[in-house]
Structure 1
Amino acid sequence: MGQPGPEESELIRRILAGERELYYNLIAPYQRMAYVSAFSVLRNEADAEDCAQEAILKALRHLAEFRGESKFGSWLVRITLNEAKMKLRKLRPGQYESLDEGPDSEDGEYVPQTLSDWREIPSETLERKEVREVLQSSVQKLPEIYREVFVLRDVQNQDIATTAQILGVSEAVVKTRLLRARLQMRDMVAPLLKHSNVFSRQTFRKGLNPWR
């Protein structure tokens, strides 16, 4: 599991010693990550921006509590997700989906329409604007327990261990939710691929980010 590098640790030490103006240098690499994490829960750009800023300020207020057991970015994402869930309860209490009461439990069974997951979409297809828009829309349709895992792993490229730590679940749970998220993504985008007549067996090119 990743820990802060020497430069990050030194920044944190200096900020805690009183050089608070250095906080921007610390959070700069993670601002987009915080926004994406907030948006994965709130599904509204303005709310996500507000939430990300609130989380960044909260992280500063509680920086002394950061124990360095993970990277600062992972800690910030965890704070952001918690803030987003609290904000969602206030803004749209009727629409809030509990992580423990999603439409599919860990013991439930999701039967995909295909046996391959969403990553087998051809890379040249992913580069098309309309396909990226469908992917973005499909992510927001995932149940929250799957959407969070999907965003952390397949959008932010967090590893399994870090994702588990951020969400406070086991690595086995992360793997289960991630598989179901990928299969559901595949089912949601399959009609588009069939309609566009561009599907092939070429696998998803690792590292290509359709959310750019």
Structure 2
Amino acid sequence: MMLGIPAALTVARGHLDARLDPYLGNNFFVEIDGLLVGSFSAVSGLQSEVQVTEYCEGGVNEFRHQLPGSVHYPRLVLTRGITEIDTLYAWYARVCEGEFKRRDMTVMMLDRRHVPVVWWNVKAALPVKWRGPDFDASRSTQVAVESLELVHRGIVKPILSRAAGAARAGREMIVEPVVDSLGNGDQ
């Protein structure tokens, strides 16, 4: 199924020869369970990798078969300056007390006007490590930061996010359902 992009947008892009500069990696929001939870100085671990098993076939010495297996997601790490708002630490503290409440998250990349242009949904995140600030009296201008590491059940770039990117580029997008590691389709 093809998702049509307005012809005017496509023609305008072609005539104006508009540049498609990459977005800056310092302009983003994090949303947990539908609520913006503050600004962060860094988000890392937004990645996935398909584990590969090599299989040697008898009599075939030119190559090894590489068979795809399960998907691995590293921990997501959120880093920010410490403020009075301690929502994330409180969530981690409840996990330490045995209340294992997983939450869905969204990491949104913004354009220069602070409009979300690309986003990734992180499924069923759970904080497993908190790190507080390092104190050093010789660095009087250094901001005190904390970080929170989360395990999760997968990262999905929703179809609406992919379509928004294609529309901004003035391209048509082939819409195919994407299945995550749990067998769930796009939502």
- Would you say same fold, with TM above 0.5? no
TM range (shorter): under 0.3
**Normalized per residue, which structure has more helix?**
1
The alignment's TM-score, normalised by the length of structure 1, stands at 0.21
TM-score with structure 2 setting the length: 0.23
Higher alpha-carbon Rg: 2
